[in-house]
Chain A
Amino acid sequence: MRTFAELLDRLAFAPAPAVRVRLMADYLERAPDPDRGWALAVLGGGLDTARVRPAAQLALAAERADGDLLRLSLDFVGDPVETAALIWPESGTAPRPPSLAEALPALAASSRQAAPGLLAGWFDRSDAPVRLALGQLAAGRRPPGVTPRLARTALAAAFSADLGAIEEVWHGSAPPYGPLFAWLEGRAPRPDSVAGFRPLMPVRPLEDMIAGGLDLTGYRAERLWQGLRVQPVSEAGRRRLYSGSGDDISFLFPELVAAMEGLEGVFDGVLMAAAGPDGPPYRPGPPDALERRLGRKTVPRRLPAEAPVFIRLFDLLFDAGEDIRALPLRERRARLEARVAGRPRLDLSPLLAIDGTGTLDALGAQGVSVVLKPAGAPYLPGGPPWLVRKSAPRTARALLLSAKPAATGAGGSSYSVALLGDGGPVAVGDASCRLADAERERLDRWIRGHTAGRYGPVRAVEPALVLEVAFNTVRPAPRRKAGLALERPEIRAILWDLPPDAADSLALLAADPAGQA
């Protein structure tokens, strides 16, 4: 437990994904079985240990420490979990902390009534770093910036294995992953991969691949759908829905899992919000409607009807148990069409007629991004990739409203930007920053010098700086004051010399038909 506690501590402060991968790989390489398996369960999101809330941990500490000293300490430390771990009385004897294999399954299996007693017993036997780690686990906190995918990436790095191969067997494995480690160490055959996640066909920007002229002969074109890339799998009676990053999200979309009934295969597609119940084919709703369905712990019974979704399919990897990834796209597509025709909650991504680059340019101008796929190519990562031709980004002159610094391990800073409404600036989105380091530093200096108010980590500034902001599309956002929001805004330049009233008006953007996706 001690080395795992140290790992969690390092992860809490690790600034970049590559650092987190190295730290986790280092641990997984050295830690013994079955401890490392339970560690992997925690890191990979395969174990729910949230049993003792922070306030309950503080209450445990209150039974053992002077009330005033505890209060003063909490005021200083801020976090109840950390305070409880630090103020807990030392036993006076050498610590004998529980192993991961002792603590984690027991915690996960315990009831909310029994868990505090378990935790207190372990605290009594542990030193402060282990208490803090156990407290965090019992509070259900994951190390910041560690996604299940990143944990699997670390596993691959630890054993110089292929991430795709690990993902295929991952979802058939359970903590503490004995057979998985045995296979990775060459001690056992590959575990069963039925209904596992298969590596996705990668998508590359067209510009990276073809520098000169573009020959579209032999390519098929489809629209690039805005939504969540998913892999629906139905094999040998097991039905699962994976996100593009290989996480099992079946429980979030029970109606989609039900819709796979009777299908047998592995599919590739995009999950989107539906504008209404009618289909197939379905009409895509606004992209932010999908947010209601994601990041949940449970799915209320009425949610599927209130926020309907569907999957727009474009490929078939396994057909009734047969691996058809080596077949050319045109054959896979023909089989897909035969399988899916007329099934509820599923429809097909229509093929676009493309005559030449002129058509691409015309679509791009309308705000339509296109995926190009070689019709004769297999579905194999490493083969010819799919190419994306993004619609030309649009730009607006926007005012900077506020800045929020990057939290540890949670991407870059974000900058709230506004356009001019009738009564002054109105926020239209949170932009990321695509500036060179020197210019970004200049921007941050400006923000420090023009801070008008602070709200936690957020600095509001005087709306006086005009930015050039690029974005994909404009989407309706009824809950925003502006009534619309920019999709994926990025700060491209700072227009230092422009006065604030040189910012674009909201009306101009709202009236632009290309904005309607």
Chain B
Amino acid sequence: MTDALEDWLRPTPAGLWCEPGGFHIDPQRAVERALITHGHADHARPGHGAVLATPETLAIMALRYPGDRPAGQPLRYGETVQAGGVSVRLAPAGHVLGSAQAVLEYRGRRVVVSGDYKRTPDPTCAAFEPVPCDVFITEATFGLPVFRLPDDGEETVRLLRSVETFPDRCHVVGVYSLGKCQRMLSLLQRAGYDRPVWLHPALDEMTALYRDFGVELGETRPLGGAGGLAGEIVLQPPGPEQRTDRFAEPVRVFASGWMQIRAHARRRGVELPLAVSDHADWTALTATIADTGAPEIRVTHGAPEALVRWARGRGLDARPLEPPAGSGG
């Protein structure tokens, strides 16, 4: 094959490298020119010379890395730029605010790099748009058939029912600051929860940024040093720093796709696991592969094995996207 994918787009230790375009996609280390699909720290790192991303993602990076001053080049969904013969377009990925798929065309072949994505409707970001292509490079965070996530509205009702059952306890929901926090706010609002939601200080700025971009999130209240809060809902970042002792008989809640697996919820010491995710579940991953119509599939981020097997079973040329052997660290 004269125009194999690997001739112009291939994984390297720094990240996915587009040679004719002269840029990396979501590089793991600082590079000269980077295309960033979305603002999560494992995709958007500081220190790049120039960054091509949606205006929302550039704003998120500026908020996260205040000292970092890359040359930012905003590219709205649907707009196209040329880079060394490669045409580059961003399509909505439905993951978090500003998240995009990178649509690259070079010598008549179209490659779509999904970045992280989900298909579940989410008013806090633009909805995923399937793009027909020749090669689809998909994430596979939940690339196992046991991940078929429940309806997010029903998960929210579970939380609200718990608040009703335990009016004398404070529900402390662990959420990531970019995406999950605002998604939960939006879900609570849609479920008809009309009380203010208490926000940990670490979630304030990102939530304000969402609102600046016109996302409607309902009423929030800064947590500050407040404690007790029986009958209230508090959003707080997850992790070992998630102290709950100051709240009234806290119910520890965690909103994540991993919560679908009980062993994960147990390890987290969670009392109410909510399987709400900003990633595509197995159903969405397989449906999206079909939607793109791509005969070639590359799988990255997460558990590629099962998805590769599934795609091959459907006659597709599917492989894990791996850096070349012996390429070092």
Using CB atoms, name the residue of chain A closest to B251.
Answer: A19
Interface pair A128/B150, CB less than 8 Å apart: yes
What's the Cα separation between A409 and B146 when bound, in Å? Answer: 26
CB B199 to nearest CB in A, in angstroms, measures 25
Interface pair A408/B144, CB less than 8 Å apart: no
Using CB atoms, name the residue of chain B closest to A72.
Answer: B306
CB B128 to nearest CB in A, in angstroms, measures 21
Which residues of chain A come closer than 8 Å to B261, judged between CB atoms? Answer: 76-77, 82
Interface pair B309/A83, CB less than 8 Å apart: no
Further pairs besides A19-B271, A77-B263, A128-B150: 18, Cβ < 8 Å: A6-B158, A13-B265, A19-B166, A65-B145, A66-B310, A68-B309, A69-B145, A69-B306, A69-B310, A72-B305, A73-B146, A77-B261, A78-B263, A79-B262, A79-B263, A87-B146, A129-B150, A408-B266
B146-161 CB contacts (< 8 Å) to partner A: 146-148, 150, 158
Q: A13-B265, A66-B309 are in contact. Are A76 and B158 (CB under 8 A)?
A: no
Interface pair B303/A76, CB less than 8 Å apart: yes
What's the Cα separation between A13 and B267 when bound, in Å? Answer: 11
Which residues of chain A come closer than 8 Å to B309, judged between CB atoms? Answer: 66, 68-69, 72
Using CB atoms, name the residue of chain B closest to A78.
Answer: B263
Interface pair B146/A77, CB less than 8 Å apart: yes
Instruction: Check if A14 is an interface residue, CB within 8 A of chain B.
Output: yes
Which residues of chain A come closer than 8 Å to B271, judged between CB atoms? Answer: 13-15, 19
What's the Cα separation between A171 and B239 when bound, in Å? Answer: 47
Which residues of chain A come closer than 8 Å to B313, judged between CB atoms? Answer: 66
Using CB atoms, name the residue of chain B closest to A84.
Answer: B146
Which residues of chain A come closer than 8 Å to B310, judged between CB atoms? Answer: 66, 69
Interface pair A73/B265, CB less than 8 Å apart: no
Which residues of chain A come closer than 8 Å to B266, judged between CB atoms? Answer: 13, 408
What's the Cα separation between A477 and B306 when bound, in Å? Answer: 52
Using CB atoms, name the residue of chain B closest to A129.
Answer: B150
B139-184 CB contacts (< 8 Å) to partner A: 144-148, 150, 158, 162, 165-166
What's the Cα separation between A122 and B96 when bound, in Å? Answer: 37
Which residues of chain A come closer than 8 Å to B306, judged between CB atoms? Answer: 68-69, 72-73
**Is the contact region of chain A dominated by helix, strand, or loop, or is it mixed?**
helix
Instruction: Check if B114 is an interface residue, CB within 8 A of chain A.
Output: no
Instruction: Check if B272 is an interface residue, CB within 8 A of chain A.
Output: yes
What's the Cα separation between A14 and B262 when bound, in Å? Answer: 13
What's the Cα separation between A90 and B270 when bound, in Å? Answer: 28
B252-297 CB contacts (< 8 Å) to partner A: 260-263, 265-266, 270-273
Interface pair A13/B148, CB less than 8 Å apart: no
Using CB atoms, name the residue of chain A closest to B245.
Answer: A437
What's the Cα separation between A22 and B309 when bound, in Å? Answer: 46
Instruction: Check if A12 is an interface residue, CB within 8 A of chain B.
Output: yes
9 A–B pairs (Cβ distance < 8 Å), ordered by A: A13-B265, A69-B306, A72-B144, A72-B303, A72-B306, A73-B146, A76-B303, A77-B146, A86-B260
Which residues of chain B come closer than 8 Å to A90, judged between CB atoms? Answer: 148
Which residues of chain A come closer than 8 Å to B145, judged between CB atoms? Answer: 65, 69, 73, 86-87
Kindly supply a per-residue 1/0 record for chain B positions 308-329, scoring 1 wherever the CB is within 8 Å of any chain A CB and 0 otherwise: 0110010000000000000000
Which residues of chain B come closer than 8 Å to A14, judged between CB atoms? Answer: 271
CB A77 to nearest CB in B, in angstroms, measures 6
Interface pair B165/A26, CB less than 8 Å apart: yes
